[in-house]
Every structure is written in structure tokens, then in C-alpha cells.
Amino acid sequence: QVQLVESGGGLVQAGDSLRLSCVASGRAFSTYRMAWFRQAPGKEREFVATINRSGGTPYYAGSVKGRFTTSRDNAKNTVYLQMSALNAEDTAVYYCAANIPPLSGSLWSPSTYDAWGQGTQVTVSS
């Protein structure tokens, strides 16, 4: 089973930028669709962004579109989430997730993804 490890979270000011990284174990990373989700206290886990196995056609939640960018480096088994213009509503634990083929289900649903990282905390102070 693939293991995912996120890093890059922290405490920032509103308007700042932050880049999260997620490193996957194993040799099959380039076959996985990857996604980012987040979960704020008392709320359900919500979709943030997803990217296909070749790094094309990313999709974003409306709340982050234009501010967040996801990318991947298959040579490094790593997916990134570049976040800019952060605000207090972005405060959450951020998780990366991997879909192991075949893809079945909605790209925006947590149940579509087979492996999850432990999460990294992002706190934005206003």
C-alpha cells in the first residue's frame, strides 16, 4: 500500500503564501491520480484540488480556484499545493490522497481515493 507524507504546513498571516508537498512511497506514483482535501474543526473533509497522473487537467474547488495551484513531479514522487492569498477560511488540516487505478467514483469525493497522508496543519491568522 502506498504511503503518503505531507509537509509544509504552518502558521501564516492572511494574504501570505504557502506550499505544501506530499511524497509518495513506491514506484507506481506516476499511475495515481492525486488530490488534496482539507478538514477544518467541526466540518467535513472537503475537496480542494486534483491532478491526473501526467500532471495535466487539474481541477479546483470554487473556494480556492485562482488562488491555489496543484502540480506534480513524477520523478520525485511528489505532488504540490501552492497556496496564495490565504485567508482565515483556509485554516484546516490538509491531506493528500491517491487514487490507485482504476478510477471509480467522483473526483471530488473522499471515497474515491485509496490512500491518505497523515495531514499537515495550515493556520491563517487574520
Q: Which residues are paired to 99 by β-bridges?
A: 33
The mean of the pLDDT values for the chain is: 96
| pLDDT, mean of residues 80-92 | 98
Instruction: Give 45-88 as a DSSP string.
Output: -EEEEEE-TTS---EE-TTTBTTEEEEEEGGGTEEEEEE-S--G
CA pair distance 49, 36, nearest whole angstrom: 5
Which pLDDT belongs to residue 102? 87
CA of 101: how far to CAs of 28, 29, 115, 119, 122, in Å?
A: 10, 11, 12, 22, 29
Among the listed residues 20, 118, 109, 113, the one whose alpha carbon sits nearest the alpha carbon of residue 70: 20
Q: Which residues pair with 39 in a beta bridge?
A: 93
17-36 pLDDT tens trace:
999 999 999 999 999 999 99
111: three-class secondary structure by DSSP: helix
